[in-house]
A and B are shown apart, each in its own frame.
Chain A
Amino acid sequence: EVQLLESGGGLVQPGGSLRLSCAASGFTFSSYAMSWVRQAPGKGLEWVSAITDSSGDTYYADSVKGRFAISRDNSKNTLYLQMNRLRADDTAVYYCTKGSSGGRPYYFDFWGQGTLVPVSS
């Protein structure tokens, strides 16, 4: 059974930093692309960042480029999202998602339960 368990969310002040983690199990982690998708309160889904399987190529939405960094540790089956210079409009539930393949094109076939990141003073 595929499981994605996010952690690391919590209240952070504007301008602060936070690192999210996603522990994956139930599949060969190193063979699949992974992504972060977020959802602001009462809003729709926004793709944030993606990383390919073993090659580790990374991609970012314009809204987070230069502030967020996605990475993975295939030896620990864990995905990360380092978030710097956080702004109020980064407030959202952040979902870890598994891609359907190692590289594009892929859809998100499994989702974690999400971790809430409120950015507020």
Chain B
Amino acid sequence: EIVLTQSPDTLSLSPGERATLSCRASQSVGSTNLAWYQQKPGQAPRLLIYGASNRATGIPDRFSGSGSGSDFSLTISRLEPEDFAVYYCQPYGSSRTFGQGTKVEIK
């Protein structure tokens, strides 16, 4: 079974700063079969990125994803107040496991 490690666990940043989140898999997830989800307190998760780098419908272009194989990242170019949330990665080729999440909090 694929083990996912997201880092860091918590990222403390100020609005306007750049956020870079990492998601590393214990083995290849199969090319670019990786998704990112955002979850705000008290809300259901929502899809941000699929295929490692494709933004879901309605997702602002300050969100970008990259990577392939076993090493992926999510970048938020300039943090807006509504971006402070928990972010999960998930490979969806041969596994349905989620990463443990990275919390992006206001510094």
The B interface is mostly helix, strand or loop, or mixed, namely loop
Q: Mark A residues whose CB is within 8 Å of B.
A: 35, 37, 44-47, 50, 59, 95, 100, 104-114
Number of interface residues of B (CB under 8 A): 22
- The residue of chain A having its C-beta at the shortest distance from the C-beta of B1 within the complex is A62
Q: Mark B residues whose CB is within 8 Å of A.
A: 30, 33, 35, 37, 39, 44-47, 50, 56, 88, 90, 92-94, 96-101
- The residue of chain B having its C-beta at the shortest distance from the C-beta of A48 within the complex is B96
Residues of B within 8 A of A100 (CB): 50
- The residue of chain A having its C-beta at the shortest distance from the C-beta of B98 within the complex is A45
Which 6 A-B pairs have CB atoms at the shortest separation, nearest pair first? A107-B35, A47-B96, A45-B98, A111-B44, A107-B92, A105-B93
| Given A44-B88, A44-B98, A44-B101, residue A109 in contact with residue B47 (CB < 8 A) | yes
- The residue of chain B having its C-beta at the shortest distance from the C-beta of A110 within the complex is B47
The reply to whether B45 and A95 form a contact with Cβ atoms under 8 Å apart is yes
